[in-house]
Amino acid sequence: MAMASKQLEDRARQWKVTIDEILETAGSLLGFGMCRGSRVVLKVIKQQGDEYLSGEVLHAFDGHGTARVLDFEPGAVLLERLDPGEPLVNLVRQNQDERATEILGELINQMSGRTAPDRCPTLDDWSRGFDRYLQTGDTQLPRQLVIEARDWYQRLVSSQQKCMLLHGDLQHYNVLFDNKRGWVAIDPKGVIGELEYEVGAILRNPVELSDFFTSTSVVQHRLALISDTLNLNHARALAWAFAQAVLSAIWEVEDGYEIHPNNGALKLAATLKSLTAGSTR
């Protein structure tokens, strides 16, 4: 915390930001204030990880479906402030999941086709999580499920057609509403891969509504909406979502969380596994 606070102070001085309010999240410090007459958010990431280069990634998207970047360096980014900043998850809570899904599809379309920063990881890089888990001896996740998901994932990686910069964690909590710009995405992880991969995070959210998003009918409706909107390969999007659900559970283990049988990612993996039967690999 002390190091992040010092970095926040240093970047505020460097980028001439007057900070009025500071909020802390699990992974970052957020300073809300003014810069050259505009309302801004100064974000400092506490430690190296998925979002450490988020400034570079957002800069590469250049405001196409994302929050605009005013300045950045590794571990810190200065962003336009979104007003009122309502999260997209609220639409799902208000029984407007179809509209929320349409919005996510529209954002994927706006963000697609961008060139990735030089240091951006690939989906192949992320695949290492499966073997890392298998080598730990941890038993919270069914070993055979992990192996099956790994094999699906590797087949998909090796058969990608058109790769591009992806958000990597595009879901309901990472999309906010702005009165001027409409719905925009924040907090990208940044990864290079095919567009079908981007659907996975959508299908396993909102996390607190696992009984809802693991429903077969909900999965099928969401997937059909996005696939039709973006002309995606439905079978590949479905297979990616299955493999990702297991990989997401692995990341939870790596982050120190205890995995229970009713874990949302695992429940979704079971639903998706049943739907992948007979699909094209």
- Kindly report, residue by residue over 102-151, the tens digit of the pLDDT: 999 999 999 999 999 988 999 999 999 999 999 999 999 999 999 999 99
DSSP conformational letter for 122: B
pLDDT tens column, 177-187 = 999 999 999 99
Q: Which of 183, 184, 186, 162 minimizes the C-alpha distance to 174?
A: 186
Quick one: pLDDT band at residue 159, thresholds 50, 70, 90?
very high
pLDDT tens column, 68-109 = 999 999 999 999 999 999 999 999 999 999 999 999 999 999
Percent share of the chain, pLDDT over 70: 98
Report whether pLDDT(226) > 80: yes
Contact indicator for 165, 115 with CB cutoff of 8 Å: yes
pLDDT at 280: 46
30 SS3 class: strand
Contact indicator for 32, 20 with CB cutoff of 8 Å: yes
Distances (CA, A) of 4 to 8, 16, 101, 138, 186: 6, 18, 35, 32, 20
Beta strands in the chain (DSSP E): 18-24, 28-35, 38-45, 69-73, 76-80, 84-87, 164-166, 175-178, 182-185, 191-193
- pTM for the model stands at 0.94
The stretch 219-239 carries a mean pLDDT of 96
- Decide: residue 47, CB within 10 A, 0-12 exposed, 13-18 middle, 19+ buried: exposed
Q: Which of 38, 44, 42, 43 minimizes the C-alpha distance to 83?
A: 38
The stretch 213-236 carries a mean pLDDT of 96
Report whether pLDDT(281) > 50: no
Which token pair is 67?
């929050």
Quick one: pLDDT band at residue 279, thresholds 50, 70, 90?
low
Distances (CA, A) of 155 to 126, 242, 256: 14, 13, 29
pLDDT at 243: 98
pLDDT tens column, 31-77 = 999 999 999 999 999 888 888 889 999 999 999 999 999 999 999 99
Domains of the chain: 2-81 (3.30.200.20), 86-276 (3.90.1200.10)
Residue 158, Cβ neighbours under 10 Å: how many? 8
DSSP conformational letter for 117: P
User: Which residues have CB under 8 Å from 74's CB, separation 6+?
Assistant: 52, 53, 55, 56
pLDDT at 277: 74
pLDDT at 175: 98
